Every structure is written in C-alpha cells, then in structure tokens.
Structure 1
Amino acid sequence: MLDMLTRWYQRRFSDPHAVSLVAILLGGFLTIYFFGNLIAPLLVAIVLAYLLEWPVSQLTRLGLPRTPAVTLVLLVFAGLMVMAVFGLMPTIWHQVANLVAELPNMFNGLQEYVSSLPERYPDFVQPHQISSVMMTFRDKVMGMGESVLKGSLSSLVSLATIAVYLILVPLLVFFLLKDKDEMMAMLKGFLPRNRRLASEVGAEMNEQISNYIRGKVTEIFIVGIASYVTFEVMGLRYAVLLGVLVGFSVLIPYIGAAAVTLPVAMVGLFQWGISPDFWWLLVAYGIIQALDGNVLVPVLFSEAVNLHPVAIIVSVLVFGGLWGFWGVFFAIPLATLVKAVWHALSSAEFSEEPASSE
C-alpha cells in the first residue's frame, strides 16, 4: 500500500510546476477558510471588479484613459444601484410587512384544511397524525419568529457593517480596476517561479469567473423580471417580493429553484385555493424555470453545461459548507476549477511519460 502511494505521488508530483499549482491552491484555500470573514469586503470588491471590467475595457478601447473610464463606470453603476434600492426597497418592505401580518390567517386556513383531511380521506389520514404534524409545524413557525426577533436585535451591528462596506468596497473596486496591471505584477512576484500549470489554470479560470459573474447577474435580472411580469399579469399578490426571490434563487443552482417554489405555491394557494388560477400559476412558474435551465443557462454558461448536475449539486453542498455564501455563489466556477486542475495534472503526467521511458 505504501509503495503504491509512493508511486502515485512520484507520478503526480514529480513535476515542480504541479507542486507549485497544488501549493498555490492550498494557500488560497487556507486563506479563505480561516480569514474569509476578515477579507469579505475584498471578496465583494473582486466580484464587482470582475463585473465592471468589461465596460471599463470597452471604454479604454474607444480611446478613453483607464482612470476616467473606471471613474465613469463606477459612477454609472452606483447611480443604477441607488435607483434600484430606493425604487424597490419600499415596495419590498411593504409587501414583506403585509405578508408577515397575514401569516396567522394563512396558518389558520392551513390548519382548517388539514384538519378536514381525516373526514375526506379516513382510510389514509388519521386525526392523531394531523395533530402531530400541526404541532411540529407550529413549533417551527415559533422558532422562525424567535430567529427573526434575534435578527432584529442585531440589526444595529448589521447596519454598522453595511456602512463599512459602503465606504470600503467602492474604494477597493476603484483601485482594483485602476491599478489592475500593477497589482497582478506584484502578485506574480510572490508566486513560485515554476508556475506554468498554475498560469494555465489561472488564465482559464480568470476568463471563466469573469463570464460567470456577468452571466449570473444577467440571469438574475432576466429571471426576476420575467417572474415579476408573469405574477403581475396573473394578479398574484406580493408579485415584486416573489419576483425578487425567484431572481435571486438562481444563485443556488437547482436547490434555489426548488426552495423558492414553496413561497410561490403557498401565496397562490392561499389567494386562490385549489382552483384553475392556482394550477396556471404553477404551470407558468414551471415554464420560467424550464426556460431558465434549458435555454438561458446554456447560452450564458456554456462551460457549466459540461458539468454534470450531480457535480454541481455536490459542489454547492461542499463549498457552501466550507465558505457559506461565497462557496454557494462560486460553486460552478470552483467545480470547473477542480476539473481544470485535474486535467492540468493529468496532462503534466502524460507529458512526462515519454521522457521517463527513454
């Protein structure tokens, strides 16, 4: 067994470039794992810098110097964000307040409907089963209420954190975009010299992450707007809130779409009951999800289509458990990174076989 492991290690890591690649990846993993909370503003700034690099590069190609181009793009982006926040947040907050106020009525209606099931289906449902389920559900709702209360008490800390982000993140984004070449040259000075494989994987992942972030933002807007328009046309209550939830659900592949189905179905059920309108809502929502998964995602994320759905779900669970939100957000690029590193190490091994056989 030891000889087999020794041969495997020598075959995989006899190339110093492969050793450098693994060392760089291990260093990045440990840094984010142990210091992720400390460098969270930097991570947010890097994501925004990737998002805004494309318009900045387009302006520089038109002849505008990089610093004015970065300033212009940041001002436009900040203006759009302010308009979106002040345009959507009052409506979303109002709908959230109304939904919370109606939750007791929804719970009572659900309890009455469930309590009638033993009379309708006496052979399948027993009264004691209904009582146990409703008590468990009530305990869960009470626990959610306590969590909301605790979150409200800690809102002052959250507001302070947001204030820090509003100051630090724009500054970091500005300098990341303005001095990108200088920072990349400085970063390369800290890396090992034998980094051919790391450079190949890095160049591929740089393009992948850039396309992924732009594509994910585009997907959020398209799915969110399409869902809002559909819900509004059908007369569904809380259309803005549900549209925003459906839009942001695409951040978590597969799992997000399944999770947000519950509030959409619950609101439709309590508004219309078991009626044709309710079933049409589910059909329309299913069509949106089908178009997103089978048309929009293949167009925006051509490389992600090459990943098996099981690999994507496993990457969401693993990286989400390790790094929380960032692990979930970058689950697909991280899965692609694992695939690229595996191919790079395999190609390094195969390239050495002829030389070792001579």
Structure 2
Amino acid sequence: MFELVSKWYKNKFSDPNSVTLLFIVLGLAISLYIFGPFILPVLVALVIAYLLEWPVAKIENVIKSRVLATSFIILLFSGVLLTMALGLIPVLWQQLSNLLQEAPVMLEEGKDFLLHLPDQYPTLISSEQVKALVATTESKILEAGQVILSFSLTSIKDIVAWMIYLILVPLLVFFMLKDKEVLTKSMSVLVPKDRRLIQQVWHEMDHQIMNYIRGKVLEIFIIGTSTFVAFWVLDLRYAALLGALVGFSVLIPFVGAALVTIPVAAVAMFQFGLDTQFWTILIVYGIIQALDGNVLVPLLFSEAVDLNPVFIIVAVLFFGGLWGFWGVFFAIPMASLVKALFNAWSDSWKPQTQN
C-alpha cells in the first residue's frame, strides 16, 4: 500500500510546477476560509471590478486614457445603482411589507384548503395526515420567523460596517481598474518561478470568471424584468417583488427556480384561487424558466466549462456552506476552477506517464 502511494506521489508531483500549483491553491483556500469574513469588501470589489473591466477596456480604446475610462464607468455604474436604489427599493420594500401583513391570512386560507382536502379526495389523503402536515408546517414557519427575527436584531450592529463598505468598495474598485497592470505585476512577483501551470490555470479562468459575472448579472436583469412584465400584465399582486425574487433565484442553479415557485404559486392562489388565471400564471412562469435554461443560459455562458448538473449542485452545496451568498454566486466558477486544476495536473503528468 505504501509503495503504491509513493509511486503515485512520484508520478503526480515530481514536476515542480505541480507542487507550486498545489501549494498556491492550498494557501489561497486556507486564507479564504480563515480570513474570508475580514476581506469581504475586497472580494465584493473584485467582483464589481471584473464586471466593469469590459466597458472600461472599450472606453479606454476610444479615449486612450485608463484613468478617464475608469472614472467614467465608475460614475455611470454608481448612477445606475443610485437610480435603482431610489426607484426600485422603495417599491420592493412596500410590496414586501404588504405581503408580510397579508401572510397570516394567506396561511389561514392555505390551512383551510388543506383541511378540506380529505373531504374532496378521501381515498388519496386522510384527515390525520393533513393535521400532521399542518402542524409540521406551522412549526417550520415559527422556526423560520424566529431565525429572521434574530438575524434582523443581530444585523443592526452591522449597519456601521455596511456604511464603511459603501465608501471602501467604490475606492477599491476604482484603484483595481485603474492600476490593473501594476497590481497584476506586483502579484506576479510573489509567485514562484515554477509557475507554468499557474499561468495555464489563470489564463483559463480569468476570461471565464469575467464572462460568468457579466453573464450572471445580465441573466438576473433579463429574467427579473421579463417576469415582472409578465406578472404585471397578468395583474398578479406583488409583481415587482416576485420578479426580483425570480431574477435573483438564478444565482442558485436548479434549486432557486424550484424554491421561488412556492411564493409565486402561493400569491397566485391567494389572489385567484384554483382558477384559470392561477394556472395561466404558473404556465407563463414555467415558460420563462424554460427559456432561461434552454435559450438564455446557453447564449450568455457559451464559453463556460461544460459541467455535469451533479457537479454544479455539489458545488452549490459545498461552497454555499463555506461562504454563504458569495459561495453560491461563485459555485460554478469554483467548480470550473477545480476542473481546470485537474486538467492542468493531468497535462503535466502525461509526459511522465508515457516515458
């Protein structure tokens, strides 16, 4: 057994480039795991910098000034965010407060609907099963309410930190974009000389991460806007809030769409009952999800690494458990990074295995 492991190690890690890549990956993983919460503003700024790099590069080609191009794009991006904050957030907050006020009535109607199911379908479900389901649902709702309340109370102390982030993050984004080449050269000095595989993985992932972030933001905007328009045309209440939920649900592959179906169906049932309008809304929602998965995603992420859905779901669970929202957001790039690392190591091992 020991000889087998020793032979495997010599075959796989006799190349200095492989060892360098391994230590770099382990060092970054440990650093992110330990210091991730403390460098969150840097990670957020890095995401925004990746998002804005493409328009900055396009503007720079026209005006031949990186500083002016960065300043223009930062001001434009800040203006768009400010406009959305002043115009969209108050509407979403109002609809959310109205929905929370009506939630008890919706829950009671749902409870009455479930309790009458045994009368309509006595062969499919019994009253004892319905009562057990209602009791379990009520306990879960109470637990969720307690979690939300405790989160809201503990998050009050983070308001000052978020105010600081609102100042630090734009500054970080500005200097990351303006001094991109200087920062890249500075980081390259810290990397050992045996970095052929590091450069291979970096070149493979740099373009993919940029395309992923830009594509994911476009997907959120397109799906959220189209869902809002569809629900507004169908006269569904809380159309803006539900459209925003559906838009952000694309951050969680496969699972997000299924989870958001619950509030969409609940609001539609509360407003229209099991009428034709209810089924129309669900059909339209299903069409939007189908177009997203079969048309929009292939167009926006045509250059993404082909990953099996099992690997994507495992990546969402693993990295989401490690880093929460940002782990879910970067689950696909991180899974692609893991695949790129294995491909790089495999390429470095092939010549040795052939000799």
User: What range describes the TM-score normalised by the shorter chain of this pair?
Assistant: over 0.9
Shift of 1:317: 1.1
Paired with 2:158 and 2:96, the residues of 1 have a C-alpha distance of 19
Distance 1:305 1:108 in 2: 47
Match runs of 1:1-358 below 5 Å: 1-304=1-304, 306-354=306-354, 357=355
**Aligned pair in 2 of structure 1 residues 149, 327: CA closer, same or farther (>3 Å)?**
closer
TM-score between the two structures when normalised by the length of structure 2? 0.97
- In 2, Cα distance between the equivalents of 1:339 and 1:13? 18
Pairwise CA distance, 1:120: 1.6
SS of the equivalent of 2:57 reads helix
Give 2:50's aligned amino acid.
Y
CA shift for structure 1 position 51: 0.5
- CA offsets 1:233-276 (integer angstroms, 9 cap, x no match): 11110000000000001111111111111111111111111111
> Which SS does the other structure have where 2:123 is aligned?
coil
Partner amino acid, structure 1, of 2:256: G
Q: Secondary structure at the match of 1:324?
A: helix
Contact 1:118 1:127 (8 Å CA) reproduced: yes
SS at match of 1:154: helix
SS in 2 for 1:280: helix
User: Could you tell me how far apart the structure 2 residues matched to 1:346 and 1:148 are?
Assistant: 46
Give the whole-Å Cα distance in 2 for the aligned partners of 1:160 and 1:234: 41
Q: How far 1:124 moved relative to its partner?
A: 2.8
Amino acid aligned to 1:260:
V
Report the CA distance between 1:141 and its aligned residue: 1.8
Deviates more, 1:303-312 or 1:219-228: 303-312
Q: How far off its partner does 1:191 sit? A: 1.0
- Deviation, 1:150, is 2.0
* Runs (5+) with no aligned partner, structure 2: none
Tell me if the contact between 2:11 and 2:349 (Cα under 8 Å) persists in the aligned partners: yes
Distance 1:229 1:305 in 2: 32
TM-superposed CA distance for 1:61, in Å, is 0.7
1:286-331 Cα offsets, whole Å, 9 max, x none, are 1101110011111111244621111111111111122222221111
Deviations 1:153-182 (A, max 9, x none): 234223222201101101111111111111
Deviations along 1:67-105, whole A, 9 cap, x unmatched?
111111101100000000111111101101110111111
Q: Which amino acid aligns with 1:98?
A: N
Distance 2:189 2:259 in 1: 45
Q: Take 2:129 and 2:164, find their aligned partners in 1: how far apart are those partners? A: 51
Q: Which amino acid aligns with 2:35?
A: F
How many angstroms does 1:19 deviate by?
A: 0.8
| Deviation by residue 1:94-119 (Cα, 9 ceiling, x = unmatched) | 10111011111111111111111121
- Give the secondary-structure state (helix, strand or coil) at the position aligned to 2:63: coil
Report if aligned partners of 2:305, 2:336 keep a CA contact under 8 Å in 1.
no
Give the whole-Å Cα distance in 2 for the aligned partners of 1:278 and 1:8.
Answer: 60
- Alpha-carbon separation, structure 2, partners of 1:198 and 1:148: 43
Determine what percentage of the aligned residue pairs are the same residue.
50
Q: Is the contact made by 1:45 and 1:172 (CA closer than 8 Å) also made in structure 2?
A: yes
The alpha carbon displacement at 1:133 in A equals 1.6
In 1, are the aligned partners of 2:63 and 2:69 still within 8 Å (CA)? Answer: no
Cα distance in 1 for residues equivalent to 2:155 and 2:335: 34
Residue type at the aligned position of 1:285: Y
> Which residue type is aligned with residue 230 of structure 2?
T
**Is the 8 Å Cα contact of residues 220 and 247 (structure 2) preserved in structure 1?**
yes
Deviation sequence 1:39-87 (CA, Å, 0-9, x none): 0000000000000111111111113311111111101100000000111
Contact 2:60 2:69 in 1 (8 A): yes
In structure 1, stretches of 5+ residues that fail to align are: none
Inter-partner Cα distance in structure 1 for 2:303 and 2:19: 26
Hey, what's the Cα distance between the residues in 2 that align with 1:58 and 1:201? 25
Q: Supply the distance in 2 between the matched residues of 1:161 and 1:261 (Cα, whole angstroms).
A: 34
Q: Distance in 2 between matches of 1:140 and 1:122?
A: 26
Question: What is the root-mean-square deviation of aligned Cα atoms in Å?
Answer: 1.3
- Shift, 1:283, TM fit: 0.8
Change (3 A) 1:304 1:64: closer
> Deviation of residue 203 (structure 1)?
1.0
